Chain A
Amino acid sequence: QSALTQPASVSGSPGQSITISCTGTSGDISGYNYVSWYQQHPGKAPKLMIYDVSNRPSGVSNRFSGSKSGNTASLTISGLQAEDEADYYCGSYAGSHVVFGGGTKLTVL
């Protein structure tokens, strides 16, 4: 059982927007502004997409955005593209350790 809770799957059509939620506790998500999101394609290492709740690393499309409200963080992908189909994981600093969500499989219909 993962420390952070994500939906197992989400789906959307090309061009649409989807949002993936990540629910934690006061000990992680709401306690720190250190939420990150990772994209993982099959057989590949995770790739950092969002850090510090809403910041994008250089080279990551601005179609990806992050936010947080209370104990829940969210990743929004706008203008869905076929290559966005992947697993997405949230992560949070939790006071001298890190916790991850169980992952969400995004299917682009």
Chain B
Amino acid sequence: QPQLQESGPGLVKPSETLSLTCTVSGGSITSSSFYWGWIRQPPGKGLEWIGNIYYSGTTFYNPSLKSRVTISEDTSKNQFSLKLNSVTAADTAVYYCARLRWSGWYGDYWGQGTLVTVSS
């Protein structure tokens, strides 16, 4: 069973770039059976899909965030990363990384989540 762990700063200033990394153990991100994705949840609110990356490097993004988001991978470290630029207080959320099945894009394994607060 894979384990996913998010890491990165818990506090980001407005207008700066939020950067998070997800380290995967117990499975390879180069598997063709899965996407690797980011989902966020503002405090007290619902889930919002941010985007996915496939082992080939192909990415898919939420249309509402597409202009600010970049997801990349480092297969040598079995990690994938999220960058969200020009952040505002509305980007304050718990950020989860997850393994998504190739068919249907549902998350079968999730990280524990990390709270990122946007504040000066």
Shortest Cβ distance from A13 into chain B, in angstroms? 26
Contact assessment for A46 and B47 in the assembled complex, using a CB-CB cutoff below 8 Å: yes
Which of B37, B47, B62, B108 touches A89 (beta carbons < 8 Å)? Answer: B47
Residues in A with CB closer than 8 Å to B103 are 34, 52
**Which B residues between 95 and 120 are near A, CB-CB below 8 angstroms?**
96, 101, 103-108, 110-113
B60 touches A45 (CB 8 A): no
Q: Are A34 and B47 in contact (CB under 8 A)?
A: no
Contacts of B61 in A (CB 8 A): 97
Which residues of the other chain, A, contact B104 by a CB distance below 8 angstroms? Answer: 32, 34, 36, 51-52, 93
Interface residue total, chain A, C-beta cutoff 8 A: 24
Asked whether A100 lies within 8 Å of B110 as measured between CB atoms, the reply is no
A93 touches B105 (CB 8 A): yes
By a beta-carbon cutoff of 8 Å, the part of chain B in contact with chain A is 37, 39, 45-49, 60-63, 96, 101, 103-108, 110-113
Offer 24 A-B interface pairs, CB within 8 angstroms, sorted by A: A32-B104, A34-B103, A34-B104, A36-B107, A38-B107, A45-B96, A45-B112, A46-B39, A46-B110, A47-B110, A48-B106, A48-B108, A51-B101, A51-B104, A51-B106, A51-B108, A89-B47, A91-B49, A93-B105, A97-B49, A97-B62, A98-B105, A102-B45, A103-B46
Chain A residues engaging chain B, CB cutoff 8 angstroms: 2, 32, 34, 36, 38, 44-48, 51-52, 57, 89, 91, 93, 96-103
